[in-house]
Amino acid sequence: MSAPSDSRHGQAGDRRAEVERLIKVLEDSPDGADRQLNTLGMLITDASLDADEIALAEAHDGLQWLYRNHEQQAPEFRGRLQGLLDVTQWALRRLPSRLQLALVPSGHAARFLVAVIQRPGLSNQEIAARIEADETEVSRVGRRLLAAGVVMRRKEWRHNIWDATPRGRQYAESSGLLTKAAPAPPTTAALGVGVVVLPHRLVGVVTDRRARVMTCLEQELPPLLDSMTTATEVADFVNHLLKGVPDADAEASVIGVQVGGHVIPESGRVVFAPNHEPEVPLTGASLAGMIEDATDLPTVIENDANALAQYERSFGDGRDTECFATVILGEGIGSGLIAHGRISHGARSAAGEIGHVVVEQPGRACQCGNKGCLETVASAPAIIGIAQESGLSVSDLDAVLTLANEKDGAATAAVERAGRALGRALSMLLNLTNPEKVILYGPQGLVGSPGTHASDLFLDSVRDARDQYTFPTTGTDCELIAKPLSGEVEARAAAAVALARHQ
Ligand SMILES: [Zn+2]
């Protein structure tokens, strides 16, 4: 008996389908299945020789199922199933070392694999740029590598991205594809460089390893940059910053980059940065990787509230606190959660979107598409907008706060409404996560000027609404600490994220 020639020499997918078909035949008529068992045995041998993991896995699952579901059958039949199962398991165990992909180092497939090992989370477009091929070729090569089980494809919001599987890494190492890989970054960083990427501006610091600021700079960004040019601008800015610390060991620096919005530290990717659209389309960019390539320094990306949470955890008021939250109030509102001493990112690094908790109904329209979100009442632009809607002629937050300090009715109402909305949103945060502290960062005039009417009214309103809506014990157990926000504070927090990675 021999397997049909088309399945012996056909594509891997055909072999898997043939295995599936044979298992089905055996399932339906286990009596007189001699021929099918022989053919299956041949297919398993072929799959083993070709390192065809997909067909082997199909055979393994099918045989196991048959074995479990045919307890009434003749011992001889079950004995043969057991024999085939043993061979299949043995072949699967041998796979990694016998993986015969034989990728040519200079070919697209090898370069694709190395690219996603060195920089997990690349998109089709980014892989195309790295391996100097068009996206059709990337899709074709990707399918081949997927079938071989050396890469996997995931979805991050709207983007398809690629990672290497453990098997892919093992193959690349054992076959020598990775011999030219960059050396591992230093385990201990001497300096932290923190950069805040704002829509039209960069703010950066260099700190020592305790996140103490040694130098601070700001720089305007030219309009209409793409993500690659933004990365180049950041890299130049970092070099400039490091020159401001003459005796520094620049090569032992690590970079933390902070971008407002949804970012994923593991892949270094900006998933969605609405504040940067449409002028600086960072959405979808592997920003950390591009900056790392341009500077040769380890680079990590984090969002604003999480960066502040890491700073507080490593060096600030959260040093001895396992569970606490930071809230940042500025152009938008976000929160960072520290649980069991670490940032809690959620499944897709989008945890902490407190700015889009609905606190008013029907509420003002939010840029997220919803109505009545916290951001539409308590962010700086919202406070200005509400004051304007009340007839005040104000164009910035300081003007509103000045009027509130003079006890102007409309300005006072806007500040109080913002504070109550934030308190109500905090009550949800407190009830759900039971933090020991909430560290609130916001504009100096709003949260950091005790004794002024605006600042006192705002924080009193926050506390009143929090106490009104929070479950009694979670509210009273939680300390609220307010701190003024600045570009330098945010940049230092970004540096703290990088330092925490390389302690
Ligand atoms: Zn919203």
Q: Which pLDDT tens digit goes with each residue over 408-435? A: 999 999 999 999 999 999 999 999 999 9
Measured in Å, residue 365 CA sits from the centre of ligand 1 at: 8
Contact in structure between 392 and 384 (CB atoms under 8 Å): no
Mean confidence (pLDDT) of the chain: 86
Measured in Å, residue 370 CA sits from the centre of ligand 1 at: 5
Measured in Å, residue 343 CA sits from the centre of ligand 1 at: 23
User: Which pLDDT score, from 0 to 100, does residue 94 have?
Assistant: 72
What range defines the domain where residue 32 resides? Answer: 5-98
The answer to whether position 501 is within a domain reads: no
Average pLDDT over residues 444-472: 94
Average pLDDT over residues 194-214: 93
Single residue among 98, 122, 142 that ends a domain in this structure: 98
Measured in Å, residue 84 CA sits from the centre of ligand 1 at: 58
81, HSE (Cβ side, Cα atoms, 13 Å): 25
- Same domain as 253, residue 388: no
Measured in Å, residue 337 CA sits from the centre of ligand 1 at: 19
Strands 333-339 and 342-343: antiparallel
- Same domain as 157, residue 78: no
H or E stretch at 441: strand 437-442
Average pLDDT over residues 332-343: 94
The answer to whether position 502 is within a domain reads: no
Lowest average pLDDT, out of 125-134, 359-368, 468-477, goes to 468-477
The answer to whether position 315 is within a domain reads: no
**CA separation for the pair 92, 56 (Å, rounded):** 7
CATH value at residue 422: 3.30.420.40
Measured in Å, residue 416 CA sits from the centre of ligand 1 at: 20
- Same domain as 267, residue 372: no
Contact in structure between 101 and 150 (CB atoms under 8 Å): yes
Quick: pLDDT tens for 243-295: 988 877 778 899 999 998 888 888 888 887 776 666 566 777 788 988 988 89
User: Which pLDDT score, from 0 to 100, does residue 187 have?
Assistant: 57
Position 119 confidence tier, pLDDT thresholds 50, 70, 90: confident
Average pLDDT over residues 449-467: 96
The answer to whether position 378 is within a domain reads: yes
* Cα 497–Cα 501–Cα 503 angle in degrees, nearest 5: 110
3-state secondary structure of 217: strand
Measured in Å, residue 327 CA sits from the centre of ligand 1 at: 16
Measured in Å, residue 256 CA sits from the centre of ligand 1 at: 27
Which tokens sit at 144? 């081949």
- Same domain as 352, residue 382: yes
Query: How far is C-alpha 344 from the chain's CA centre?
Result: 11
Q: Is the pLDDT of residue 64 over 50?
A: yes
* Cα 358–Cα 359–Cα 361 angle in degrees, nearest 5: 85
Instruction: Please report, for residues 196, 392, 415, 417, 481, the alpha-carbon distance to residue 448 in angstroms, rounded to integers and kept in the order given.
Output: 22, 24, 14, 18, 10
Measured in Å, residue 379 CA sits from the centre of ligand 1 at: 11
Measured in Å, residue 272 CA sits from the centre of ligand 1 at: 14
User: Which pLDDT score, from 0 to 100, does residue 74 have?
Assistant: 76
Measured in Å, residue 334 CA sits from the centre of ligand 1 at: 11
Contact in structure between 488 and 203 (CB atoms under 8 Å): yes
- Same domain as 113, residue 94: no
Measured in Å, residue 413 CA sits from the centre of ligand 1 at: 22
Average pLDDT over residues 115-141: 86
Q: Is the pLDDT of residue 72 over 60?
A: yes
**CA separation for the pair 124, 100 (Å, rounded):** 25
Which tokens sit at 441? 């960062």
Closest C-alpha among 274, 260, 273 to residue 367: 274
First to last CA, the chain: 64
Measured in Å, residue 330 CA sits from the centre of ligand 1 at: 14
Measured in Å, residue 374 CA sits from the centre of ligand 1 at: 7
Quick: pLDDT tens for 143-176: 888 888 889 988 777 778 898 888 888 888 877 8
Contact in structure between 56 and 44 (CB atoms under 8 Å): yes
The answer to whether position 179 is within a domain reads: no
- Same domain as 295, residue 341: no
Measured in Å, residue 442 CA sits from the centre of ligand 1 at: 19
- Same domain as 331, residue 278: no
Contact in structure between 402 and 412 (CB atoms under 8 Å): no
Measured in Å, residue 480 CA sits from the centre of ligand 1 at: 24
Average pLDDT over residues 186-199: 83
Measured in Å, residue 369 CA sits from the centre of ligand 1 at: 6
**Most distant pair of Cα atoms in the chain: their distance:** 97
Average pLDDT over residues 228-253: 88
- Same domain as 475, residue 369: yes
Q: Is the pLDDT of residue 53 over 80?
A: no
Measured in Å, residue 391 CA sits from the centre of ligand 1 at: 25
Q: Is the pLDDT of residue 89 over 70?
A: yes
Which is higher by pLDDT, 141 or 454? 454
Measured in Å, residue 189 CA sits from the centre of ligand 1 at: 38
CATH value at residue 126: 1.10.10.10
SS (HEC) of 162-214:
EEECHHHHHHHHHCCCCCCCCCCCCCCCCEEEEEEEECCEEEEEEECCCCCEE
The answer to whether position 291 is within a domain reads: yes
Q: At what angle do helices 124-131 and 108-118 cross, to 10 degrees?
A: 120
Q: Write down how long the chain is.
A: 503
Measured in Å, residue 312 CA sits from the centre of ligand 1 at: 26
**CA separation for the pair 472, 481 (Å, rounded):** 19
Which tokens sit at 83? 């024999």
Measured in Å, residue 144 CA sits from the centre of ligand 1 at: 41
- Same domain as 231, residue 294: yes
3-state secondary structure of 263: strand
Position 6 confidence tier, pLDDT thresholds 50, 70, 90: very low
Measured in Å, residue 375 CA sits from the centre of ligand 1 at: 6
Measured in Å, residue 107 CA sits from the centre of ligand 1 at: 46
Residue 95, phi-psi category: left (phi > 0), alpha (psi -120 to 50), beta (remainder): alpha
User: Which pLDDT score, from 0 to 100, does residue 179 have?
Assistant: 67
Lowest average pLDDT, out of 52-66, 177-191, 193-207, 331-345, goes to 177-191
The answer to whether position 310 is within a domain reads: no
- Same domain as 264, residue 211: yes
With 0-12 / 13-18 / 19 or more C-beta atoms within 10 angstroms meaning exposed / middle / buried, residue 390 is: middle
- Same domain as 453, residue 347: yes
Q: Is the pLDDT of residue 305 over 90?
A: yes
Which is higher by pLDDT, 94 or 239? 239
Measured in Å, residue 372 CA sits from the centre of ligand 1 at: 7
Measured in Å, residue 264 CA sits from the centre of ligand 1 at: 20
3-state secondary structure of 478: coil
For CA atoms 228, 229, 234, 239, the dihedral sign is positive
The answer to whether position 392 is within a domain reads: yes
Q: Is the pLDDT of residue 453 over 80?
A: yes
Domain count, the chain: 4
Single residue among 66, 98, 130 that ends a domain in this structure: 98
Measured in Å, residue 376 CA sits from the centre of ligand 1 at: 7
Which tokens sit at 7? 């399945």
Position 460 confidence tier, pLDDT thresholds 50, 70, 90: very high
Measured in Å, residue 366 CA sits from the centre of ligand 1 at: 5
- Same domain as 415, residue 326: yes
Of the chain, the percentage scoring pLDDT greater than 70 comes to: 91
Position 178 confidence tier, pLDDT thresholds 50, 70, 90: confident
Of the chain, the percentage scoring pLDDT greater than 90 comes to: 46
Measured in Å, residue 500 CA sits from the centre of ligand 1 at: 31
Measured in Å, residue 208 CA sits from the centre of ligand 1 at: 37
